[in-house]
A and B are shown apart, each in its own frame.
Chain A
Amino acid sequence: GDSVTQMEGPVTLSEEAFLTINCTYTATGYPSLFWYVQYPGEGLQLLLKATKADDKGSNKGFEATYRKETTSFHLEKGSVQVSDSAVYFCALSGNASWGKLQFGAGTQVVVTP
C-alpha cells in the first residue's frame, strides 16, 4: 500500500539556518503530495501541496518539489525563524477526488535564537 517516510527528528537549528526535511513516498499511480505543520498547542495546518510531477509547492518561505523520478518531496526553507518551531508531516493522497491522507511519522523542528 501507499506509504510515506520522512527523516526522524528532532532537528535543531539556529535562527536563519537552512532547513531541509527529507520525505520519500511509495504509491501506485500519481499521488498528490502535501506538507502539514503542527505548531505547539494547535491543530494540523496545510503548509503546501503539489498535485503532479515537477510541481513546486510554496508557502511562508517553505518550498517542496514533487520529484517522481526519486519519489521524493523534500521540504526546504532558506532562513528559519524561531516561529517555525513545529512538527512537520509529509503526506500523500493516492486519490485526489476524495483525499484520504497517508501521513509520515512527523519531524520535530526546534529553532533556537
Chain B
Amino acid sequence: DTGVSQDPRHKITKRGQNVTFRCDPISEHNRLYWYRQTLGQGPEFLTYFQNEAQLEKSRLLSDRFSAERPKGSFSTLEIQRTEQGDSAMYLCASSTTSGGSYNEQFFGPGTRLTVL
C-alpha cells in the first residue's frame, strides 16, 4: 500500500470559483479525516467519516464546504465560491478502528490551495 494520496497537490484558482479535492485513504482504513492548515499554524479539524457516514463537522466548515465519501473509500472536499481566506493546505488522514483504543492517523501530503 502506498499510503494516503491526495489530488491535486497544488491548486490555484480565482476568487469565486469552485474547487474539488480528492483523498484516497489507505485501503483497509474505515475512518477518514479532513484538516486545514494555514501558514505557521497546526492543522485544524474540519470533518470526519466512518465508512460513508459523515459523523462530525467543525464549525470551520461553512456552508460553502461540502465533503463526501460515497462508497466508504475515497473522499472529496468541495469548496464553492472560494474566498482568499480559503487559501491553505488541506490535509487528509485515515485510520482503522479497533475497540476503544487509539488508532494512528496516517496523513497524506496535502493539497495546497491558493485563491487569487
Query: Chain A residues in contact with chain B, CB under 8 A?
Result: 4, 32, 42-46, 49, 51, 89, 91, 93, 96-106
Contacts of B45 in A (CB 8 A): 100-102
Cβ contact of B107, chosen from A45, A93, A105, cutoff 8 A = A45
4 further A-B pairs in the complex, CB-CB below 8 A; given A4-B42, A105-B41: A43-B4, A43-B108, A98-B50, A101-B35
- Contact partners of B97 in chain A: CB under 8 A: 97-98
Total A-B Cβ pairs within 8 A: 61
**Minimum CB distance partner of B110 in chain A:** A43
Number of B residues whose C-beta is below 8 Å from A?
Answer: 29
Complex contact A44–B107 (CB within 8 A): yes
- Contact A100 B102, CB 8 Å, known A44-B107, A105-B41: no
Q: A99 contacts B56, CB within 8 Å?
A: no
Is B102 within 8 A of A106, CB to CB?
no
Chain B residues engaging chain A, CB cutoff 8 angstroms: 4, 31, 33, 35, 40-45, 48, 50, 55-56, 91, 93, 95, 97, 99-105, 107-110
Q: Are A99 and B109 in contact (CB under 8 A)?
A: no
**Cβ–Cβ < 8 Å partners of B42 in chain A:** 4, 89, 91, 103-106
> A46–B4 Cα gap in the complex (Å)?
14
Are A44's CB and B40's CB within 8 A?
A: no
28 pairs of residues in contact across A and B, judged by CB atoms under 8 Å: A4-B42, A43-B107, A43-B108, A45-B107, A46-B104, A49-B102, A51-B101, A93-B102, A96-B100, A96-B102, A97-B97, A97-B99, A97-B100, A98-B31, A99-B31, A99-B103, A99-B105, A100-B33, A100-B56, A101-B33, A101-B45, A101-B105, A103-B42, A103-B43, A103-B44, A105-B40, A106-B40, A106-B41
